[in-house]
């Protein structure tokens, strides 16, 4: 398999993509409107929230992406355009139409995303002029501005890019994402946008994205809330000139590895930046009967408020870990499970084990806490990411609208 190499950049790292992020006045001077544009038609795929309450931009983008083709993405932050009735869809359509008009592409080839406060109409008198400014400022250097423009309570912008060789051609996959609160994805998380200059058929791009999302974005949690606006979309414009990937084989396997690497980097950045978080929590499950069991158990531990609180308090309360595995729904033998905090084994065969509180405390004192659960019943494994639960999480969300 060709080697995947991390490189600087984001959504404009692949050939043929430009981006921009500007301040339209939605967030009082902060950047809040972003546009991503492909200079040619691109294969498109998307994964969307399973929340029955879907924001207008999610509904519209789900329709537009049915064709498997797209040219652009337009995003605003500061307002989710969710639960706004018929007006919400009208405003989402207006965003696509204006972007399409300015870019010279059909509105149906423009994907729309929004994030922010739910239940407030979009200030279209600000959004539409913002789209105009963003289109005017499109450039290969605009990826970081675009990544900044989609942030809400995020404390830093999230970008990633990798390069690999496909059929003798250098190929790049890039991406940006936002997310800090309302993170417990059941599809993707908040907003994620992936670009690539690889040539791949829409159906195979969709298959690769679904697999990557399941192993990355679907394995992070901050607070147990699945948003109304979650989406991850991918555009593949073929500018690398590789032979079109339209089936199983080494090129598809290599592309999937690159796509998963970008998605994982973005997903872990979201978990690290959880609202109020002071620690990144990584939960590794090994020795499971199936990958599904491993994923189920890992997510449950990462999502447990009791585990997250113990991590914040740096308390080696391993019983909370085993409890979360027990109610997760994973198939395992409770009498076979070992639990580790860092490198310190704190439970063996599902029971108490004399361990060093000092070494466990040191493992919990760092900014990156690793909990490992060895089920010892199979060969499958999975990793989930989350963060600690702090006083600041309540403070941030107690006054989110103000």
In the residue annotation, 189 being an active-site residue is answered as yes
What is the full DSSP assignment across 148-191? HHT-SS-SS-EEEEEEEEETTEEEEEEEEEE-SSS---SSS-SE
Q: Which of 189, 195, 296, 372 is catalytic?
A: 189
Q: How far apart are CA 300 and CA 327, in angstroms?
A: 8
Q: What share of the chain is helix, strand, coil (3-state, %, to 5)?
A: 35, 30, 35
- Burial per residue of 220-253, b for 16 or more beta-carbon CB atoms within 10 angstroms, e otherwise: bbbbeebbbbbbbbbbbbbbbebeebeeeeebbe
- As a dihedral over the C-alpha atoms of residue 14, residue 184, residue 75, residue 121, rounded to 10 degrees, the angle is 180
Distances (CA, A) of 270 to 178, 180, 191, 233, 379: 7, 6, 10, 17, 28
- Burial per residue of 347-359, b for 16 or more beta-carbon CB atoms within 10 angstroms, e otherwise: bbebeeeebeeeb
Residues with catalytic annotation? 189
């Amino acid at each position: 398999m060709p080697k995947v190499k991390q490189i600087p950049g984001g959504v404009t790292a692949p050939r043929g993509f430009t981006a921009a992020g500007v301040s339209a006045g939605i967030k009082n001077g902060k950047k809040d409107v972003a546009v991503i544009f492909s200079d040619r038609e691109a294969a498109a795929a998307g994964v969307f929230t399973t929340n029955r309450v879907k924001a207008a931009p999610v509904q519209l983008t789900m329709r537009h992406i049915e064709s498997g083709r797209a040219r652009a993405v337009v995003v605003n932050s500061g307002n989710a355009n969710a639960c706004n009735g018929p007006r919400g869809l009208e405003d989402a359509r207006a965003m696509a139409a204006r972007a399409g008009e300015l870019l010279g592409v059909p509105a149906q080839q423009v994907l729309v995303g929004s994030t922010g406060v739910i239940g407030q109409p979009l200030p279209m008198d600000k959004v539409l002029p913002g789209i105009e400014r963003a289109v005017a400022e499109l450039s290969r250097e605009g990826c970081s501005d675009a990544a900044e423009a989609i942030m809400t309570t995020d404390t830093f912008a999230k970008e990633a890019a990798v390069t690999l060789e496909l059929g003798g051609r250098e190929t790049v996959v890039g991406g940006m994402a936002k997310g800090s609160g309302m993170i417990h994805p059941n599809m993707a998380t908040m907003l994620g946008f992936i670009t690539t200059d690889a040539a791949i058929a829409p159906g195979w791009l969709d298959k690769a994205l679904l697999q990557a999302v399941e192993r990355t974005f679907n394995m992070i949690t901050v607070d147990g809330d699945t948003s109304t606006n979650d989406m991850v979309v991918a555009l593949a414009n073929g500018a690398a000139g590789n032979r079109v990937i339209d089936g199983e084989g080494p090129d598809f396997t290599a592309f999937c590895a690159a796509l998963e690497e970008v998605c994982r980097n973005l997903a872990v950045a979201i978990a690290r930046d959880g609202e109020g978080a002071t620690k990144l929590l990584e939960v590794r499950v090994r020795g499971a009967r199936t990958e599904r069991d491993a994923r189920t158990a890992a997510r449950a531990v990462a999502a447990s408020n009791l585990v997250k609180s113990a991590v914040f308090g740096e308390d080696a309360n391993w019983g909370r870990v085993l409890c979360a595995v027990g109610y997760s729904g994973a198939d395992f033998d409770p009498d076979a499970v070992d639990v580790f905090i860092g490198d310190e084994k704190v439970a063996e065969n599902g029971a108490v084990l004399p361990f060093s509180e000092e070494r466990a405390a040191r493992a919990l004192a760092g900014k990156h806490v690793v909990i490992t659960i060895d089920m010892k019943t199979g060969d499958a494994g999975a990793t989930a990411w989350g963060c600690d639960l702090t006083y600041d999480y309540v403070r941030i969300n107690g006054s989110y609208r103000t």
